[in-house]
């Protein structure tokens, strides 16, 4: 029993490394090619590990998909707070910075869209546990726009927040058809300002 425990401890670093390699490969493939188009064979081949190594870290491909979405959500909000948290006392400046960032991101060459929106396009409601993660990310984005609208003292903050959310989601979506330098997403900063002014005018 003691010898078996010692072997398990010795193998633990190798298992963690294999898990990380599987996760990194899956995250790259899922984002570039789509989740349903990527099979387990492609993941382990890119990761350079045996299939059994994948299943030691993730009991199924579905579990790997959920882990991918959870990681993307955590990373997205961490980057959001780091980039826009300093504007918490100035909602106009914060909204301007957010829309400018989204315009740059969604018109960047090679951008493959929002991972949560991409997932929802592949999986209808109720078909996959990852829907909960994707939908939670969108609800959080809606909540943050509402917080900005309330800080701006908009007379109809929910209407303004939902309009801003639709604009952001539209930029994510159109990036895959009319992306690049001439994308309509470049109008986001102007459009957001126009929406705010329309609500705040006497």
CB within 8 Å of 101: residues ≥ 6 apart: 83, 84
User: In 3D, which of 194, 27, 189 has the Cα closest to residue 107?
Assistant: 189
Instruction: Answer whether 29's CB lies under 8 Å from 68's CB.
Output: no
| Strand (E) or helix (H) holding 151 | helix 130-151
Instruction: Answer whether 40's CB lies under 8 Å from 30's CB.
Output: no
Q: How far apart are CA 57 and CA 108, in angstroms?
A: 34
User: In 3D, which of 106, 118, 121, 112 has the Cα closest to residue 180?
Assistant: 106
- pLDDT for 9: 43
- pLDDT for 198: 95
- pLDDT for 13: 59
Mean pLDDT of 6-11: 45
- pLDDT for 201: 87
Question: For 49-78, how does the pLDDT look when each residue is reduced to its tens digit (9 = 90+)?
Answer: 999 999 999 999 999 999 999 999 999 999
Q: Which pair of structure tokens corresponds to residue 120?
A: 């929802």
- pLDDT for 55: 94
User: In 3D, which of 197, 132, 134, 137 has the Cα closest to residue 163?
Assistant: 197
The phi, psi pair for 67, rounded to 5°, reads -60, -40
- pLDDT for 98: 98
- pLDDT for 50: 94
Q: What domains sit in the chain, N to C, each tagged with a CATH number?
A: 1-59 (1.10.10.60), 67-200 (1.10.357.10)
User: In 3D, which of 117, 114, 130 has the Cα closest to residue 64?
Assistant: 130
Mean pLDDT of 4-9: 43
- pLDDT for 11: 53
Mean pLDDT of 173-202: 93
Q: How far apart are CA 22 and CA 30, in angstroms?
A: 12
Q: How far apart are CA 190 and CA 112, in angstroms?
A: 24
- pLDDT for 4: 45
Q: pLDDT band at residue 3, thresholds of 50, 70 and 90?
A: very low
- pLDDT for 12: 55
Q: How far apart are CA 141 and CA 135, in angstroms?
A: 10
- pLDDT for 127: 87
Question: For 86-123, how does the pLDDT look when each residue is reduced to its tens digit (9 = 90+)?
Answer: 999 999 999 999 999 999 999 998 899 999 999 999 99
Instruction: Answer whether 54's CB lies under 8 Å from 92's CB.
Output: no
Mean pLDDT of the chain: 93
74: left (phi over 0), alpha (psi -120 to 50) or beta: alpha
Q: How many CB atoms lie within 10 A of CB 71?
A: 14
């Amino acid at each position: 029993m003691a010898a078996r425990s010692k072997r398990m401890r010795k193998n633990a670093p190798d298992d963690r490394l294999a898990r990380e390699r599987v996760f990194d490969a899956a995250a790259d493939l899922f984002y570039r090619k789509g989740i349903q188009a990527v099979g387990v064979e492609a993941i382990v081949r890119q990761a350079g590990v045996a299939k059994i190594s994948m299943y030691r870290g993730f009991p199924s491909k579905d579990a790997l998909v959920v882990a991918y979405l959870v990681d993307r959500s955590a990373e997205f909000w961490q980057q959001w707070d780091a980039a826009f948290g300093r504007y918490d006392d100035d909602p106009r400046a914060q909204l301007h910075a957010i829309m400018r960032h989204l315009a740059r991101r969604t018109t960047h060459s090679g951008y493959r869209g929002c991972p949560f929106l991409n997932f929802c396009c592949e999986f209808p409601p109720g078909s996959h546990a990852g829907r909960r993660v994707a939908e939670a990310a969108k609800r959080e984005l809606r909540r943050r726009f509402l917080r900005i609208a309330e800080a701006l003292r908009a007379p109809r903050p929910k209407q303004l927040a939902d309009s801003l959310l639709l604009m952001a989601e539209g930029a994510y979506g159109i990036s895959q058809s009319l992306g690049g330098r001439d994308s309509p997403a470049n109008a986001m900063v102007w459009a957001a300002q126009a929406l705010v002014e329309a609500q705040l005018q006497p």
